[in-house]
Structure 1
């Protein structure tokens, strides 16, 4: 069934390729090229599961990205969105959780190819070497990066980002003290590990259910420069630069290509988020400035 579905997506990609390519070229000419942000969890050839991709598959993704996009950092994505100008489609690599397998292949390859990457880790799992619950449930407690490894790869050029302390589901967190612990305290812990400022936060699970106004407000209060979701979406000029939209680096290559060829219909399917007061005020101020400038 998966093979048939992949073949159908491949056929559809071929049918719409020319129209989408023309659309991307037009957007680039207008300075409106989308900024793509892909997220991964684990690159490994052992213990395959729903949140892993093979080394061969990951290399194929990078080959495709480098042929078609300009690799940039998350901060550069935000700058282009905020300043409402992007002359070329871009790609940014991100990882969630902090699996030890990634230091054996994925991170060295990204550094070798000079592709910016933000690596989001859950600090309690790193400090306590505590396997993730979803791995325990699957029957294989996969190893987590150590604090020493996180520090070393930060020094090597991989940007470290915060992914809470305990990989919590904020849709189920209603205690302000727990939100502070999972966002503010986690940021402080990670900064102590790497000896640098941590700029970005990624929500575990990352759907609209987890992106509550209260959690987003706490991300603001913690001093982060932005947060990442994980329900898909494009970072387009003029949108809210504090919210970085990401799509899955899908092992089914046809589905990855479908995202990267820019499907306008996906914008219509993107969920609406309830904004916290601080973000609403920021959005209103940005809109007012654009109105004055025009």
Structure 2
């Protein structure tokens, strides 16, 4: 499974000083023309040994994920996952989903809502108490807002190691994703899934290259978090 990481379509991404994570609407529509050619699945689907599937994810919980992204994906029957930072919703941060918008998004066909930490901090830098607070608070808050269990998450900044992975497991998460740029093969640890980031300069051609693995050399720029403690 190739899991793609998007953030926002048309608005500035949180902490994105280089403006790398904002995709223009026209460019995003070009990406959709590429994506519909593939077998698409949600990130929490079982990885297949027979064919490559592509999963689409969005980080942070921007309002445009509901108002811009969702209509385009639902119309095309494309499933997707939104990983939501609890504080952004709870504190009514400008540009992010409100509680009512989050419920509306979660009710749409093919949508999965997961956690993205409570305050969007680097979990690898947290002490044990703060690590579990980040994992549990976001999980409990989203579960309360949505009235459903939250068992999926993406590590903020994609930062993870075995200590963080084990804490996520102890907190009841069944699936979690890092930012290690690679495809997921059968047997990959479900709490350390790889994701391939999509950037604002990526043309439809580059997106297709990333799906096919031509950019997997990116993984050599970092260490597989499964090897980090």
Q: TM-score, normalised by structure 2?
A: 0.87
| Contact 2:176–2:190 (8 Å) recurs in 1 | no
Query: Which of 21, 24, 27 pairs up with 1:51?
Result: 21
Note the C-alpha offset of 1:212. Answer: 2.5
- Aligned equivalent of 1:60: 30
SS of 2:157's partner is: coil
TM-score under structure 1 length normalisation: 0.69
Unmatched 5+ stretches in structure 2: 14-18
Task: Flag the 1:183–1:55 CA change in 2: closer, same or farther, 3 A.
Answer: same
Q: Secondary structure at the match of 2:78?
A: coil
* Contact residue 165 and residue 192 of structure 2 kept, 8 A: no
Partner in structure 2 of residue 107 of structure 1 = 70
* Residue among 40, 46, 61 paired with 1:71: 40
**TM superposition shift of 1:215:** 1.5
Tell me, yes or no, if the aligned pair for 1:234 and 1:267 is still in contact at 8 Å: no
Q: Which residue of 1 aligns with 2:16?
A: none
Q: Is the 8 A contact 1:43 1:102 kept in 2?
A: yes
* Preserved contact between residue 231 and residue 245 of structure 1 (Cα < 8 Å): yes
Among residues 194, 197, 210, which one is paired with 1:248 in the alignment?
197
Question: SS at the partner of 1:119?
Answer: strand
Contact 2:81 2:114 in 1 (8 A): yes
Whether contact under 8 Å (2:192, 2:226) holds in the other structure is no
Instruction: Tell me the distance in 2 between the aligned counterparts of 1:196 and 1:160.
Output: 10
Distance 1:204 1:94 in 2: 13
- Alignment-derived partner of residue 164 in structure 1: 117
Specify which structure has the higher proportion of helix: 1
- Whole-Å Cα distance in 1 between the matches of residues 218 and 197 of structure 2? 16
CA-to-aligned-CA distance 1:43-71 (integer Å, 9 cap, x gap) = 11x5583221011111111110111x101
1:216 paired with 2:162, answer no
Tell me how far apart the structure 1 counterparts of residues 35 and 98 of structure 2 sit (CA, whole Å).
29
Q: Which 4+ residue blocks in structure 1 deviate beyond 6 angstroms? A: none
The structure with the largest alpha-carbon Rg is 1
Q: Tell me by how many angstroms 1:143 deviates.
A: 1.4
What is the rounded CA distance, in whole Å, between the counterparts of 2:63 and 2:27 in structure 1? 18
2:224 equivalent to 1:261: no
**Cα deviation, residue 231, structure 1:** 3.0
Matches of 1:224 and 1:86, distance apart in 2 = 24
CA drift of 1:179 comes to 0.8
2:147 matches 1:200:
no
Distance (Å, rounded) in 2 between the aligned partners of 1:37 and 1:265: 12
Structure 1 residues 163, 264: closer, same or farther in 2, change over 3 A?
closer
| 3-state SS, counterpart of residue 99 of structure 1 | coil
Aligned Cα RMSD in Å? 2.2
Q: Secondary structure at the match of 1:114?
A: coil
Query: CA shift at 1:266, angstroms?
Result: 2.7
Deviations 1:54-98 (A, max 9, x none): 11111111110111x10111222xx22xxxx43222111100001
CA deviation map 1:203-232 (0-9, x unaligned):
1111xxx21322211100111111111231
